[in-house]
Structure 1
Amino acid sequence: MAKRILLTGASTGIGNATLQRLVAAGHEVVNLDVKDAPEGAAEHHHCDLSDPASIDEVVAGLDGSFDGLGNIAGVAGSMGAELVLRVNVYGLRHITETLLAAGKLNDRASIVNIASLAGMVWNRHLDRIAELDAAEDFAAGIEVAQSYERSGPAAYTLSKEWVVSYTKHLAGRLVGRGIRVNSVSPGPVDTPLFPFFEQDTGAEQMAWLNEQVGRVATPDDQAQVVVWLLAGESGWVNGIDLPVDNGLSAGMTVGWANPKDSPASRSRRS
């Protein structure tokens, strides 16, 4: 059955690969992005996720309701801590909650949030996540973002830890409506943001990560899983964070991709 899916960030990268797969499968896709309209979208709306007024205006203008929401848009740490927190945390939260409050997501819809392997130890930092959650609205969130004292890459890691936590909590809130909420955590992916992540991580460290699993991921590697969660036969999958990394996180957990052997670790020891 064809579904109507709303995506953020489908003009490029993982979002665009997701869009193309959904359209090829016969689904209708509406895209929200600060970039130009992508080929294949049934509708495209300019939306700045760092600006709550932009989100509110776009949501108010959306016709009908949706069977899925893919929160794919995001920014890298080298783009600055304030922008990272505004987009990756408060923008994602605001558009999701605004769509829910406006009745734009159908019962038994699916929400998929893009997290990251950077957020894999989210449960060690519940105190920091709670500080982000304490901002009850976007205005308060902006104050948190503007007062954040650590680096942009640190803000990025925290933002993705927050995404995993938010995903799991939102799944519980919405289980009564049959709305499933999951997150996907990519490792390195060859998107237009890759040079920014390489800058944040270090070229040598990024190369080491990719060597552990054979290559850098493509956007379509991620899109396959996002589409499955949004529109595929995944109806009993809820509240999980799914690493899509060809085993990189498994290797780092059990040791066949030993982080202690990485350039970053060697540099710290020296």
Structure 2
Amino acid sequence: MARKRILLTGASSGIGRACCELLAADGDEVVGLDIQTAPPQAAQHVQCDLSEPDSIDAALRQIDGRFDALLNVAGVPGTVDPALIMRVNILGLKHLTEAVIDRLNPGGAIVSVASIAGFNWQRRLAQLTQFLAQPDFAAGLRWFEQHPLDANGAYHFSKEAVVVYTMQLAGPARSRGLRCNSVSPGPVDTPLLPAFKIQAGAGQLDWVIEQTGGASTPMDIAHVLRFLATGPSDCINGRDLAVDRGLTAGLVIGWIDKNDSPLLNSRKTQAP
């Protein structure tokens, strides 16, 4: 198999670092972007603040050549400032993707990390479409300032936007010989898991982990990302793939009873 060249955000920790290790072990050339220092497996690493478009543009000027895949892995949890959540999780992701798409080789792929927190995108598709139609990073941020959300709401909205943006991009990407997909993990045992537990509140993620038999590892998610980016996945385009150890199926079909969840029970006790 020919050696691939991969641009990877969030390469220094968690799922991104697992992707870097896995792809490098395959013999692929990984170019990492992260605000943190370089992982040892990266062939090249540029420190980059994905919350700032100027930092993204400056980082890309330091990187020559073309790529076979873009992996948008970097993200922040719903425990930080809502504007920062939007900047990193969707506005920076979108800015980077649109800046680099012309440097992707035909037959390549764009894969972004969304979340099971983005599963309700259909409920506010019109609003998400309006947000994603903003012409640039600054306009998107202004739109969010006019439609403010708290941190948890901003996190859900940002991940819903990743799912919808993936579907929007799939058509234009196909015309360039590219594919565009997203992956929605459930709880993953990364350094950010404690923050996600705080964000979910009421012991909710501990309950989810118990119901599904454990948290995923970063490498579990990395294997799926690699498959969509460089594996035999040519017919998969415009899809969001849940990697949640069966959580969604259980809640829909009923072998996980959502009425037993701590979050729902907490809301019941708070109801007047």
- In the TM superposition, residue 131 of structure 1 has moved relative to its aligned partner by 3.4
2:11 corresponds to = 10
Corresponding residue pairs, total? 268
Could you give the per-residue CA deviations for residues 227-263 of structure 1, whole angstroms, max 9, x where no partner exists?
Answer: 1111111111111100011111111111111222101
- One-letter amino acid of the structure 1 residue matched with residue 55 of structure 2: S
SS in 1 for 2:79: helix
- In the TM superposition, residue 148 of structure 1 has moved relative to its aligned partner by 4.3
- In the TM superposition, residue 203 of structure 1 has moved relative to its aligned partner by 5.4
2:162 corresponds to = 163
Structure 1 segments of 4 or more deviating over 4 A?
none
- One-letter amino acid of the structure 2 residue matched with residue 29 of structure 1: V
SS in 2 for 1:79: coil
- In the TM superposition, residue 139 of structure 1 has moved relative to its aligned partner by 1.2
Alpha-carbon separation, structure 2, partners of 1:192 and 1:145: 28
Consecutive unaligned residues in structure 1, runs of 5 or more: none
Could you give the per-residue CA deviations for residues 20-55 of structure 1, whole angstroms, max 9, x where no partner exists?
Answer: 010111100000000010011000001111100001
1:119 corresponds to = 118
**TM-score normalised by L of structure 2:** 0.96
2:81 corresponds to = 80
- In the TM superposition, residue 147 of structure 1 has moved relative to its aligned partner by 4.1
1:190 corresponds to = 189
Consecutive unaligned residues in structure 2, runs of 5 or more: none
Are 2:12 and 2:38, in contact at CA under 8 Å, matched by a contact in 1? yes
- One-letter amino acid of the structure 2 residue matched with residue 125 of structure 1: R
- One-letter amino acid of the structure 1 residue matched with residue 76 of structure 2: V
Are 1:69 and 1:112, in contact at CA under 8 Å, matched by a contact in 2? yes
- In the TM superposition, residue 80 of structure 1 has moved relative to its aligned partner by 1.5
Cα distance change of structure 1 residues 118 and 186 upon mapping to structure 2, 3 Å threshold: same
Alpha-carbon separation, structure 2, partners of 1:268 and 1:78: 20
Alpha-carbon separation, structure 2, partners of 1:42 and 1:123: 39
Aligned positions of 1:44-55 closer than 5 A: 44-55=45-56
Query: Which piece of structure 1 moves more, 195-204 or 242-251?
Result: 195-204
Instruction: Give the CA RMSD over aligned residues.
Output: 1.1
Cα distance change of structure 1 residues 147 and 192 upon mapping to structure 2, 3 Å threshold: farther
- In the TM superposition, residue 130 of structure 1 has moved relative to its aligned partner by 2.4
Alpha-carbon separation, structure 1, partners of 2:185 and 2:88: 18
**TM-score normalised by L of structure 1:** 0.96
SS in 2 for 1:242: strand
Are 2:202 and 2:263, in contact at CA under 8 Å, matched by a contact in 1? no
Asked if residue 135 in structure 1 is aligned to residue 138 in structure 2, the reply is no
2:108 corresponds to = 109
Are 2:202 and 2:266, in contact at CA under 8 Å, matched by a contact in 1? no
Query: Which piece of structure 1 moves more, 90-99 or 189-198?
Result: 189-198
Are 1:81 and 1:148, in contact at CA under 8 Å, matched by a contact in 2? no
- One-letter amino acid of the structure 2 residue matched with residue 161 of structure 1: E
Are 1:82 and 1:148, in contact at CA under 8 Å, matched by a contact in 2? no
2:64 corresponds to = 63
2:258 corresponds to = 259
SS in 2 for 1:77: coil
SS in 1 for 2:203: helix
Alpha-carbon separation, structure 2, partners of 1:148 and 1:36: 35
- In the TM superposition, residue 67 of structure 1 has moved relative to its aligned partner by 0.1
Could you give the per-residue CA deviations for residues 86-118 of structure 1, whole angstroms, max 9, x where no partner exists?
Answer: 111110000000112xx3111111110000000
Alpha-carbon separation, structure 2, partners of 1:203 and 1:191: 20
- One-letter amino acid of the structure 2 residue matched with residue 226 of structure 1: L
- One-letter amino acid of the structure 1 residue matched with residue 38 of structure 2: A
